[in-house]
Structure 1
Amino acid sequence: MHATTTVAVDLAERGAAHGGSRRLTGHLTRPAGPGPWPGVVVVHEALGVNDVMHRQAERLAKAGYLVVMPDLFTDGGAVRCLVPTVRAALSGHGRAFRDIGAARTHLAQDPDCTGRIGIIGFCMGGAFALLAGHDGEFDAASVNYGRLPKDLDAALAGSCPVVGSYGARDRSLPGAAGKLEASLDRLGIVHDVEEYPEAGHSFLNDSEAGPRALRPLMRIAGIGPHPESATDAWRRIDAFFATHLKAQARKA
């Protein structure tokens, strides 16, 4: 793998065009060497854009994807934005989805993007990735311990292919993997869903995140890295994205 480059991008104009946030920034991570590449929108966890999320974006860029990670807390900060953003993630509607659309547009208009674009989300971002995949804008979605909507079949009708990863020790999402897989089966949507017996919430993180004072409690709650499960989950994500983003022809 070779070095990548990351730059800040202003997504406000595209966000306004979508009816999204008046202020919206993001981070564009570009692979080394010449393009074009497939694109991936990274949707951050509830803790916001942090070092862990930057490393996830960098990992995808090293795998050969042009990556944009919008900061969904730009317009007001995490304290003001967290509650309405989480509500949007659970309802399937709201400003945050339009901000994600702005990030997708940024990729689609980049001459170094092939036009095939996926979305990946973690925690809160996983819920966004799941619901953003149904409108035809994305070609594949990676859903990582994302909460499920109440009317799952209705929310997923017409979805793009989905690769989902959950932890059996995640007390906040009991049975989520089975419910998601059953719904995708009923709807005939291409998918790969796995529940890891030894993993909990945020198991794909490569280090602990959040306030240091809360980390012991998070460990007790089963929240944090599980490298063995993460290695296999990334193997599946890489293979799924390679099939649906790299191996497919450019969209008309």
Structure 2
Amino acid sequence: MSEKPKSTGAPAHQNVTFPSAGSTAHGYLALPPSGRGPGVIVIQEWWGLTNHIADVADRLAREGFVALAPDLYGGNVAHDTDEAVRMMQELPVPRGVELLSGAVDHLLGLPEVTSDTAGAVGFCMGGGFVIYLAAADPRITAAVPFYGVIQGELPDFSALRAQIQGHYGELDGTIPVEKLDELRAAIQHQAGITPDLRLYPAGHAFFNDGRPETHDPRSSAQAWQSTVAFLHDQLG
């Protein structure tokens, strides 16, 4: 692990390693200017741990959170859609959840983290993993999937503790509105929790400002403001 940078009034960030799922995992850790705050896991898109995901962690740190973005691809980043699909398919959902639970272990063990539970924010593939992780790990009490892609069957939500605020594009052909209705109904039935699944006049990946072909600035700003308020409400 690299030496922690000194506080300069801006978020401090570093690459970190930690034990997870029987091996050594890597990630990107961002600390708030105060040095302490509630913990949030940031889960990558199918591209990998890109500059965009690191920037999301930095943005969360500026809002007062300790943000950890675990690297689910072991340092690899996809450069085109075919490669991204292959890399996502090579990461089985149970293995991804196992790796993410290890990241939660590490995050909640940090002395800088003031919360007893954690939030999770993820995008595309990572948005789906937010849902899978929250269903499997009751230490996640605030879940924020952005256009979360569910791979295969919905998980069992009977152990879910997290409140959920989801952000989806109504023009996103990969996640039809009826799929959101199925997700909402399953969570309500199995966990007794009503997720807040919000629609925006945008398409898939509307939050990714590194991809101008999909980025929707207005929808992104609205979703981000809601996300930060939600995480503070749930985690402190």
Alignment deviations for residues 178-204 of structure 1 (CA, whole Å, 9 cap, x no partner):
3323333334214311111x2111111
Residues 182-201 of structure 1 mapped to structure 2, 5 A cutoff: 182-187=185-190, 188-196=192-200, 198-201=201-204
Whether the aligned pair in 2 keeps the contact of 1:164 and 1:193 (CA below 8 Å) is: yes
Who is 2:3 aligned against? none
Query: What is the distance in 2 between the residues matched to 1:236 and 1:77?
Result: 29
Determine the C-alpha separation between the residues in 2 that align with 1:34 and 1:108: 15
SS in 2 for 1:133: helix
TM-score calculated relative to the size of structure 2: 0.84
The equivalences for 1:165-244 within 5 A come to: 165-175=167-177, 176-187=179-190, 188-196=192-200, 198-208=201-211, 219=213, 224-244=214-234
SS at match of 2:99: helix
Instruction: Give ranges in structure 2 of 5+ residues lacking alignment.
Output: 1-8
Helix, strand or coil for the counterpart of 1:207?
A: coil
Deviations 1:148-206 (A, max 9, x none): 35543x5222321111111111111112333323333334214311111x211111112
Deviations 1:115-143 (A, max 9, x none): 23111110000111001002312111111
Instruction: Tell me if the contact between 2:46 and 2:87 (Cα under 8 Å) persists in the aligned partners.
Output: no
What residue is the counterpart of 2:12 in the other structure?
A: 5
Q: 1:39 to 1:174 in 2, by over 3 A?
A: same
Q: CA deviation at 1:99?
A: 1.4
Residue 75 of structure 1 deviates from its aligned partner by: 6.7
4+ runs deviating over 6 angstroms:
none
Counting matched residue pairs gives: 217
Which protein has the bigger strand share? 2
SS at match of 2:175: coil
Match of 1:59 in 2: 59
Query: Conserved in 2, the CA contact under 8 Å of 1:124 and 1:146?
Result: yes
Residue 233 of structure 1 deviates from its aligned partner by 1.1
Contact conserved, 1:5 with 1:30, CA < 8 A, in 2?
yes
Structure-1-length-normalised TM-score: 0.79
CA contact (8 A) 1:23 1:74 kept: no
Q: Is the 8 A contact 2:164 2:196 kept in 1?
A: yes
2:46 is matched with 46
Give the aligned CA root-mean-square deviation in angstroms.
Answer: 2.1
**Higher percent of residues as helix:** 1
What percentage of residue pairs aligned between the two structures are identical?
30
CA 1:150–1:24 in 2, change beyond 3 Å: closer, same or farther?
A: closer
For residues 203 and 76 of structure 1, the distance between their equivalents in structure 2, rounded to whole angstroms, comes to 23
Secondary structure in 1 matching 2:168? strand
